[in-house]
Structure formats: structure tokens, C-alpha cells
Amino acid sequence: MGMNRGITNTVRQRGRNVDRAHGFTLLEILVVLVILLIGILAILRLFPGGFLTIKRTAEQTMAQALSQQQLDSLKNTSVQAEAILPAFPQADDSYIVAQDIMPNDLSEATNASLAQYGVNSLPNGLTLKNFSDINQVRLVVGENVTIPVPNANAAKGYGSVYVLQFGPVYNEFGGDDNNPTDRIKVYGAPLERVEQSSTTPSPVTGGTDETGTAFLNSPSQYAIDYTDPTNPKIAFYPRIGTGLRQFLIRFDYYALPAGGSGIPVVETALDKTITVPDVQPSNEPPQPKWIALFDTNAGGIARPDDFYQFKRDSEVVSRRFRLVSKTPGTQPAWTDDPYEYAWFSPQEGDVANVGVLVFNPRGHDYLERTAAGTQTLTARVDYAILDNHIIHEDRVVPTSAPYALKLSLPFVLTTGDILEDQTQYNGLFPSGGDDAPDVLLVNVSTGEEIGHFSKGQPDSGLGASSLDTKTGVIRLDPNIVENANNSLKSATIRAYYKAQGDWGMQVQKAYARYDRAFQPSETSFKAYYIDTTGTSSLRRNRMYFRLCDAGKMVILGEFFLKDKNDKIIRLSNEAYRINDNPALFETVNGIKLTWIDLTEQHSEAATDTWQWTDDVTGQAVSSVQGGSIKSRVIWKSAERWRKVDTDTFLPQAK
């Protein structure tokens, strides 16, 4: 018994010891929890960086896809603009080119920054946002349009429909029904210049011209008299009939600096309209009459405020297309004149239009007499892009259901969303009203508006279609797609929308062909300067450009130089990138210029002191062509602009 009791007590004691070994005190538990929390927090601190990296990578991928998509679209079309410039539309229907805005400038516009370019008031319907960051570069010059094959469609009737590449565009209608006006310029090929005197004897009859008649061989010519550089005279062939014949003139002029004194600089007046009244039929053939260029009472143009004198041989003159109607959606009243167009797309809000034009069908097979000979009629269109932050993408509708279109960007903005600056989003277009579009769909082939989503909901034209704003997926109603009147299967649909993050798309394009300036002060957005005389302080192995061309590529045709021993060097077809480092800009007479340097490809240009020479052909350089086009996508992340650029070479407009 004593032994058993001892064994029992020992077992009980061991059990108590075992229980004590498997238990934890409150203090021990708290210590463990603190250690765990410290470890977990340390691990969690790694996740935000990882999440941020994933977010940045996704944004970068989307931006690269958008940029490449835009560039591929430009590559796959034969339509190329002459240039895309930093410029400001004015209330008088003109544009001011900002030659010193660098392509990489993403700053916000202010009233003071605009005033330095002569913009003292904003045009109707536009705000500083329309002139900020990538919206500084948005003037499309000379988008070439071969008049398309006429097509009949339900909304407009018979005509040749064309969708502008970079819509929506800034547009307003004005005038009356007999003389409607809008914000774009549509014109033909340059006319042939004939320099004459408006006061000397006739080159045809040899007699004295007492009637102010100019002598031209055809309507493809114009005459100009440079005798008075403050007000040159110009003459055109009139048309027999009723109505008006209009021409666009683009020219350079010498402008006095602010204050009215100092060395004049060269400015460019873009696309001013000259009006030539038609003449009534008579027994005598109509003759061109001289008018003073700046005589507005006779059909001339208004003199620029800073005008000093006209720059000889700088003008480009073209026949302007006539706007037939200012009421989109109505059958145009075409005449027998092929130089006519109307708007197919309706106005969106006060100053916006998607940019679908319809041309007189007679223009499709019309042969135009130009300075370069007889050619198929081609229209050139100048217009200002409304807002580069409106994304436009083309998508092909599937041939079978489900008819889903995936946009490149998620988180599509809808009316009522709160933006980063805590303002409310009110749709794509200014003053669009309660039904302002958030996503607008247009059939590229016909130019017809299919429908739109407002506040995320489809309008009646889209039936039961849906929009997933988070993923950017549009699902079209099968009844709409398969309707025989629509024929949307395999159709190319262009979607216009905005996305959270202030995403934007921009195209930068070098000028198609640069002219030569003979003084540094004459260098402009479409002109280069080289020193062949040794009279300039600028380097003689460099070619100079304005700052708006920084970073662009140019191609030099045949060009000639000479070295320190006066040995002639001939080179041709070389590509150079224009310097975009502000620290290396050069200043002459208060004008900052950037440059290309021959040492980029020829190191001996410095040691052998190469310099441009006119001695061989009279022209040191046969041609300087803009050789690059850049697609840029920007977005805002963490209060900073981020961007992706994609560059390529494209054939230039002729």
C-alpha cells in the first residue's frame, strides 16, 4: 500500500509538471503577439511598393499600346498632314503659331503665358485647359484628302464622306445661309505664281494697261506685284456666274518686336481668305483685276497688327472650298463647282464636332490644274483639335455575337464623376447638356454616328448595348449590329471617350518641307537658317531651327560644304535629329534657336572647319524635309505627368 501510494503520488506530480510545461502565461502570449505584429507589419510595408510597381507597369503597358496603335493607324493610311503645330485659334478665325513652345513642354497655360504669344482673350467655348500640356500642339495643317468615292447614306444623301484623322475638332458656325462660315480651312493645291507689275505695259499687247487688268493664262495662276512691300497687289481669274470665288493665302511677313523698335522678325500669317466676286456673262471674256492685298473692301484680308512689310516670294495661294451649308444633317445643295463641302457630323455642344465632312461628289473624278500640272482634285484641311485628352480608337465589330469592343483604357469617365481636381466631369464636350456623351461611337466607313453612352447608359440608337466603365468593354446590342440598315458586322467603329488619370494622345509632326531663311531673324516654324556668308555669329557647320522643332528629325537632300582648304564636299540623303537640350540653344538678336550639327555624323566637320556653300549650285541644300512623326501618350499618376513616346519615319505630304 505504501508503495502504491508513492507511485500514485509520483504520477500525479508528473502530470502537474506536464500540464505546467504545456501552458502559456498572459505575458508570454503578449510577447508573441508583439513579435508577430512587428513581422507582419514589416512584410505589409513591402506590399504598397509592389502594388505601386504593378500599377505603374500596367499604366506603362497601356500607354505603349495606345501610342503604338496611334502610330500604326498613321502608317496604314496614305493621308498625311503637312505639319502639326503648337498654335492658338483666335476669335477672328486665324491662328497664332507659338514657335518657341518646345514639344516636351507639358506646363499648364496661364493668361500671362498666352499673352506673350499675343493671345489676350480665349475664343468662345475654350478654357486654359484647351491650351495646356499636350493641348499646346494641336493645329493640323494640310491634312491631304483625295475626294472619296461618293456614297449614299440615310442621314445625308449623296456625297463623298471623309472622317478627319484627329477629331473631335474645334468648330463654330457663323454667317448666314447664303454665306456660312466655320472654323476649319479646306483648300486645293497651290496655284502657280506669276509676278507682274500692276502699272507697267501689258506683256501681251505691249500697250499701256489702263484698266488695272492682270494677264493670266488660266485659273490655276495668280498674279502678284511686290512693288509696295507694305501692301502688295494680287489678282485672280474670276468665274462667270453668281456667287463668290475664294482663295487662301499663307505668307511670311516682317514684324516689329514688342515696343515697335528693333530688328524685325519673321512671322507667318496662316490661311487668310481673299474673296473674288464672280462676273456676269458678257461679250468680252472676263479679265483678272488687281486688288490691294490688305484692302478688305475689295475682298482682301486684314493687315496683321504687328505687320511691318511683306516677305517677297513667301506666299502660298490656293483655291478655297466653299462651305455649302451650316446645318449638318441636311442634304447639301451642291452646284456644278467641285470645290464644295459640308459637315456630315452634327455639332456637339457649343464648339465641338467629331469632324466628318462630305464633299461635292463631282470632286471625286475632277482634274485640277495646278502649278505642278494636272492632278486629281485633292483637298487640304487645316483644323484645331478640340482636346487631345479625348481618346479616339478604332475597333472592328466581330462577325458573330457577342459583339464586344474592348477599349485600351479602363475606368472610363462618365458624367457626374469627380475628377482629381475635385471638379465634376460633364461629358466629352463643353456645354453638352444633360445628355452629354461619355462615349461616342461613329461608323468610320459611312461617317454616321451610331449612338452614345451618357452617364453610362446607352441612347436609343444603341438599344440594349452596355458599357462596363471599369474594364472599358462595350457590348453592342445584336439587334443593332444585325439590323440590315446598319450592316455593322466587320465595320470599323471609332470610339471617343475620356479615362480617369487625364489620359491624352498627341501627334507631333515635323514640317513636310522647310524653306530657307537668309537671316537668323527670318527663321520660322517652316524655315531653317544656315550661314554661307560668315556674317553671322552662329556656327557655320550647323543648321538652325525654331524651338518648336526641337527633337524632330530632318532629312537633308543633296548639300554642299567646303573645308578649310576650300575643298568642296558633296553629301546627300542624311538624317539628323534636332537638338532638344535647352542648355545648348543659341541666341541671336534675342531669338533662341536650336540646331543640327554636321559633326553628329562627320567628326571631321569640326577639325576641318566645314561650312555651307552656295558656290556649286546656288543652293547649299537642295531640300530639307521633316522626316519624323511622334506619337505621345500622357497620363497623370501621383500628381505627376508621365509619358510614352513612339517615333517613326513616314512619307511626307507633297
Q: What are phi and psi of 363, to 5 degrees?
A: -75, -15
Q: Could you tell me how far CA 331 lies from the centroid of its own chain?
A: 30
% pLDDT > 70, the chain? 87
Overall average pLDDT of the 508-537 stretch? 90
Distance, in Å, from the CA atom of 476 to the CA atom of 404, rounded to the nearest integer, reads 6
Q: Which three cell numbers stand for residue 61?
A: 503597358
Dist CA 76 CA 504 (whole Å) = 22
CB 250 within 8 A of CB 202: no
Write out pLDDT tens, residues 11-50. 445 455 545 555 667 777 787 788 888 877 776 666 565 6
* Cell 527633337 found at: 551
The one-letter amino acid at 304: P
* Residue 634 CB neighbours (<10 A): 22
Q: Which three cell numbers stand for residue 541?
A: 557647320
The predicted structure's pLDDT at residue 452: 94
- The answer to whether residue 374 scores a pLDDT higher than 60 is yes
Q: What is the pLDDT of residue 44?
A: 62
CB 541 within 8 A of CB 605: yes
Q: What angle do CA 37, 38, 42 make, to 5 degrees?
A: 115
**CA 217 to CA 393: how far, in whole Å?**
47
Instruction: Write down the pLDDT at residue 201.
Output: 58
**5 SS3 class:** helix
What is residue 533's predicted lDDT score, i.e. its pLDDT?
Answer: 86
pLDDT at 6 over 60: no
What does the pLDDT look like over 409-444, one tens digit per residue?
999 999 988 887 788 898 898 776 667 899 999 999
Q: Which three three-digit cell numbers place residue 130?
A: 484647351
What is the model's pLDDT at position 7? 46
C-beta separation of 86 from 136 below 8 A? yes
Alpha-carbon distance of 409 to 470, in angstroms, equals: 9
3-state secondary structure of 76: coil
Query: Average per-residue pLDDT in the chain?
Result: 85
What is the distance, to the nearest Å, from the Cα of residue 296 to the centroid of all Cα atoms in its chain?
31
221-273 confidence digits (pLDDT tens): 899 999 999 999 999 887 766 667 889 999 989 887 766 667 788 888 887 88
The string of pLDDT tens digits covering residues 583-641 is 999 998 888 999 999 999 999 999 999 999 999 999 999 999 998 889 999 999 878 89
Query: Could you tell me which residues come within 8 angstroms of residue 452 by beta carbon, excluding any fewer than 6 positions away?
Result: 437, 438, 439, 440, 441, 458, 459, 461, 462
Q: Using one digit for the tens of pLDDT, what is the confidence trace for 92-125?
A: 777 888 999 999 999 999 999 888 887 888 888 8
Could you read off the pLDDT of 347-365 as tens digits, one per residue?
A: 988 899 999 999 999 888 8
Residue recorded with cell 500604326? 72
Better-scored residue on pLDDT, 652 or 223: 223
Would you state the cell numbers that stand for residue 138, as one nine-digit string?
494641336
Q: What was the pLDDT predicted at 209?
A: 46
What's 598's DSSP letter? G
Amino acid (one-letter) located at 46: L
pLDDT band for position 5 (cuts 50, 70, 90):
very low
pLDDT at 50: 61
pTM of the full predicted structure? 0.86
- Joined together, the cell numbers standing for residue 149 give 468615292
Q: What is the number of H-type helices and E-type strands within the chain?
A: 6, 47
